[in-house]
């Protein structure tokens, strides 16, 4: 079956793609290739510390065709990279978004490039949680998701998928790219209105 992709127009074609520390971050280089081919977007990758342990930033940079930013600030450049990224992006997509990253964003913590960029940007922010069954139903997670929605962050509904640690099917998993892009399209249209 061929995937269908919604029409999505970004004003300058700039997507900041944040990867956090879920095993699903391993799909990002392939997603970037599809997004660049399908939409022609300029994509900058951004990784958290744990994401950089699961997917090589060099692989993501090669797919993006530009350097990856994060997890921390490179003091030697003199750049305020999170401010640059926040202004550069027409859209910020965090996929996968771990429970830790969601909590940081919900409460305004900005102790790394990824969370600081989300805090500073005026672009639409789409978060694709990757949580697993127990975290998905945890009261703290439910509160954080409600805070994020109340702040205007678009949340991609999770799906049932295979858990990496035991292979069992469970809810709370990050969906595939077409499902994520459906939410992205709605967020971009809503922001343009």
Per-residue pLDDT of the chain (193 residues; tens, 9 = 90+): 577 899 999 999 999 999 999 999 999 999 999 999 999 999 999 999 999 999 999 999 999 999 999 998 876 777 899 999 999 999 999 999 999 999 999 999 999 999 999 999 999 999 999 998 999 999 999 999 999 999 999 999 999 999 888 889 999 999 999 999 999 999 999 998 7
Q: Do residues 130 and 102 touch, judged by C-beta distance below 8 A?
A: no
pLDDT at res. 160: 94
pLDDT at res. 21: 97
Q: Do residues 116 and 42 touch, judged by C-beta distance below 8 A?
A: no
CA distances from 156 to 9, 81, 181 (A): 19, 26, 9
Q: Quote the DSSP letter at residue 4.
A: -
pLDDT at res. 74: 78
pTM across the whole model: 0.96
pLDDT at res. 165: 83
**CA-CA distance, 47 to 70, in Å (whole number)?**
5
Show the tokens assigned to 7: 């029409």
Q: Backbone dihedral region of 13: left (phi > 0), alpha (psi from -120 to 50 degrees) or beta? A: left
SS3 19: strand
One DSSP character per residue, 175-191 reads --HHHHHHHHHHHHHHH
pLDDT at res. 1: 59
In the chain the domains, ranked by start, together with CATH numbers, are 11-37+89-193 (3.40.50.1950)
pLDDT at res. 72: 87
pLDDT at res. 73: 81
């Amino acid at each position: 079956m061929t995937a269908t992709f919604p029409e999505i127009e970004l004003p300058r074609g700039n997507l900041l793609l944040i990867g956090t520390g879920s095993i699903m971050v391993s799909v990002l280089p392939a997603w970037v290739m599809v997004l660049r081919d399908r939409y022609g977007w300029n994509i900058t990758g951004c990784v958290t510390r744990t994401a950089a342990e699961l997917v090589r930033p060099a692989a993501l940079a090669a797919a993006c065709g530009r350097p990856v930013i994060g997890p921390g600030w490179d003091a030697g450049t003199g750049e305020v990279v999170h401010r640059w990224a926040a202004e550069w992006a027409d859209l910020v997509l965090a996929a996968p978004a771990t429970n830790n990253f969601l909590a940081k964003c919900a409460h305004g913590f900005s102790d790394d490039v990824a969370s600081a960029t989300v805090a500073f940007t005026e672009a639409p922010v789409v978060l694709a949680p990757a949580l697993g069954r127990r975290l998905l139903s945890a009261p703290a997670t439910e509160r954080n998701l409600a805070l994020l929605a109340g702040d205007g962050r678009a949340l991609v509904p999770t799906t049932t998928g295979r858990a990496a640690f035991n292979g069992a099917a469970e809810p709370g998993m990050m969906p595939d790219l077409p499902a994520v892009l459906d939410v992205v399209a709605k967020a971009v249209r809503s922001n343009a209105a």
